[in-house]
Amino acid sequence: MKKIMALGAAMTLSLGSAQAADKVTVQLKWVAQAQFAGYFVAKEKGFYKEAGLDVTIKPGGPDVAPPQVIAGGGADVVVDWMPSALASREKGVPLVNISQTFKKSGLELTCRAETGIKKPTDLKGKVTGVWYGGNEYPFLSWMSKLGYKTDGSPAGVKIIKQGFNVDPLLQKQADCVSTMAYNEYWQVIDGGYKPSQLTVFKYEDEGVATLEDGLWVLDKNLKDPVFVAKMAKFVKASMKGWDYAKANPDEAVKIILAGDSTGAKTAKDQKRMMTEVSKLLGDANGKLDVKDYDRTVATLMSGGSDPVITKKPEGAYSFAVYDAMK
C-alpha cells in the first residue's frame, strides 16, 4: 500500500512539474498605460497561461531604465526604444531586438504657434523641452541634420530638460516640448490649447523617426534553446494580446485601468491613447523590418561630432525567436 501511495505521489509530482508554467518577467519602459496594452490584455485574457507561461509585468517610471534592469537580472525581456537600446549596447549592455512591437514612431515636437514657429528652420534660437534618459537621441539627431547646435548658443536651439509632462509649454517657459501622439499631445489640448494654436512636427514626417517600443533580451540568453522557445511563446501570446486590444479597445482600457496602481490616468485618457497606439502597430506580426532598423541606425549615426552610436551595431537583432515559432 505504501509503495502504491509513494508511486502515486511521485506521479503527481511529475505531472505537476510537467505542467509548471515557464516564468517570464517583462520590464516596461513606462507606467501601466495603453502604450503597453497588449501585454496586460494577454495576461488578463489568459493568453500567456494558454501558452504555458507565468508572466510578471513590471511597470516602469522616470527612475527606471530597462537596460539597467535587465543587465542586473531584474527581467528576462524589456520594452525599450531602439535609440536607447542601441546606445546601451554600445556602452556594454548586449541587448538584442527579438521583436518590434511599434512599426511607426509616435514622437512629436509640439510648439506654440504664437512663437512664429511654422517650419523646422524656425526652431533656431528657440527654447525646446526635451526628454532625457535615453529619449533625447532622436531629437539630437534631428538637430544635427538641421545643422543646429544644442549647447544654448544663439545660432542653435536651447534645450531644457523636460520632465514627463508638458508644463514648460503650458507655463510658456519653452516654445516647444516633446510629446507623444498618444499621450502628452493630449495633455496640451487638455491644458487649454486648440489644435489651431499649435505647430506639431511629427518625427515620421521629418524623416528622422527612429523605432520605439520593441522587445529586447540579453545576447547570451539567445544561445539557450529553452530560453528562445520561451520567448517565442511570449512574443506570440503578446501579439495575440495586441490584436485583441485593437479589436476591443473599450475592454482593453478597463484592463489597463485595473492594472494601473497610480490612478493617474482616466478612462478617457486611456481610450484616446489606445486609439493612437493602434495606429503605430501596423499590420505586421511584430517582426522587425530590417529596412526600419537600418533607417534608425543611419539616423542615430548622423549626429555629427556627437552621434548617438559611433559605429554600426553587429548582432543587435535576431530572428531566432520568430524561427522558433514555425
Question: How much is the average pLDDT of 258-280?
Answer: 87
DSSP character at residue 287: P
3-state secondary structure of 27: strand
* The three cell numbers locating residue 310: 559611433
Q: How many whole angstroms separate alpha carbon 39 and alpha carbon 10?
A: 36
Least confident of 3-12, 43-52, 71-80, 141-150: 3-12
Burial of 225 (0-12, 13-18, 19+ CB in 10 A): exposed
Cβ(281)–Cβ(101) under 8 Å? yes
pLDDT in tens, 89-144: 999 999 999 999 999 999 999 999 999 999 999 999 999 999 987 678 789 888 98
Q: pLDDT value at position 153?
A: 79
- pLDDT > 70 fraction of the chain, expressed in percent and rounded: 92
Where do we find the cell 479589436?
A: 247
Residue 57 phi, psi (nearest 5):
-105, 120
- The answer to whether the Cα torsion of 180, 182, 188, 191 is positive or negative is negative
Give residue 237's Cα distance to chain centre. Answer: 18
Give the helix ranges, DSSP H, for the chain: 2-19, 37-44, 47-50, 66-71, 82-90, 137-146, 167-170, 184-190, 225-247, 249-259, 267-281, 290-300, 320-323
What is residue 19's predicted lDDT score, i.e. its pLDDT? 65
Helix %, strand %, coil % for the chain, to 5? 45, 15, 40
Q: Which of 180, 187, 209 is nearest to 106 (CA)?
A: 180
Domains of the chain: 2-103+211-323 (3.40.190.10), 107-202 (3.40.190.10)
Instruction: Calculate the alpha carbon distances from 105 to 140, 151, 179 in Å.
Output: 16, 26, 11
Q: What's the rounded Cα separation, in Å, for the pair 212 and 300?
A: 13
Query: The pTM is what?
Result: 0.87
* 109-to-18, 113, 120, 128, 260 alpha-carbon distances in Å: 51, 12, 10, 9, 27
C-alpha dist (Å) from residue 77 to 23, 55, 157, 202: 11, 11, 36, 29
The reported pLDDT for the residue numbered 77 is 98
- Quick check: 91 and 112 in contact, CB under 8 A? no
d(CA 112, CA 11): 69
Quick check: 13 pLDDT over 90?
Answer: no
**pLDDT at position 7 over 70:** no
**Edge-to-edge strand order for the sheet containing 53-58?**
53-58, 22-27, 77-80, 214-218, 95-99
The pLDDT confidence band at residue 15, using thresholds 50, 70 and 90, is: very low
270, 84 contact by CB (below 8 A): no
